A and B are shown apart, each in its own frame.
Chain A
Amino acid sequence: SQQGEEDPQALSIQEGENATMNCSYKTSINNLQWYRQNSGRGLVHLILIRSNEREKHSGRLRVTLDTSKKSSSLLITASRAADTASYFCATDAGGNYQLIWGAGTKLIIKP
């Protein structure tokens, strides 16, 4: 079953603009992870945020987590054409070491 839901399903912006995508989930979690997937390739881990953290940065990426609202956001600043990909959130609800995945946000950066 898919716990995470990304929003929007698709996002198209101009190069240089910021891109924000959101993830909502249903149950308590240990951590939440964001991954990127280029077309026809495997997923690449971007960032992991633990349930006791509220914000985390990695380069041009900023992730926030609001456990009271069961939601997370991924912000990509100063977007580049190479950021064009699908972005997925995955939640770790604990207990069985299984990640639960959303359906992803397809991001297109127009040059």
Chain B
Amino acid sequence: DTGVSQNPRHKITKRGQNVTFRCDPISEHNRLYWYRQTLGQGPEFLTYFQNEAQLEKSRLLSDRFSAERPKGSFSTLEIQRTEQGDSAMYLCASSIAGGVSNQPQHFGDGTRLSIL
């Protein structure tokens, strides 16, 4: 178990640029989640995959955000035309499917995005 890996750890970019983050979940986990976290707040749900299918996307997520999990393994989160308000920590988590209830989620250490 190598844990959930996220790359890069830090990303600094100018407003208006596109950025892409990668998440490698624990290999046997079929569920993968993306969250956004700002200072002093809890994680805010962005989207969730079961295998390669994106099953839910937050209504708060603008069209500038897109996520993929093409082979049901790693996932990417892209933000197009970044804005100042996108500055945050982006967290990825994975878990096993566990019936009707959520199983414990395993988190990566996140990608910290800073928009200049």
Q: Give the CA-CA distance A33 to B81 in the complex, in Å.
A: 35
A98 touches B42 (CB 8 A): no
Q: Give the CA-CA distance A45 to B98 in the complex, in Å.
A: 16
Q: How many residues of A contact B (CB 8 A)?
A: 27
Total inter-chain residue pairs, C-beta < 8 Å = 68
A45 touches B104 (CB 8 A): yes
A31 touches B101 (CB 8 A): yes
Is the C-beta of A25 less than 8 angstroms from some C-beta in chain B? no
Q: How many residues of B contact A (CB 8 A)?
A: 26
B107 touches A42 (CB 8 A): yes
Known: A42-B4, A42-B91. A98 touches B104 (CB 8 A): no
A residues in contact with B45, CB < 8 Å = 98-101
Is the C-beta of B11 less than 8 angstroms from some C-beta in chain A? no
A103 touches B48 (CB 8 A): no
CB closest residue in chain A, given B43: A101
Residues of B that sit less than 8 Å from A by CB:
4, 6, 31, 40-45, 48, 50, 55-56, 91, 93, 100-102, 104-110, 112
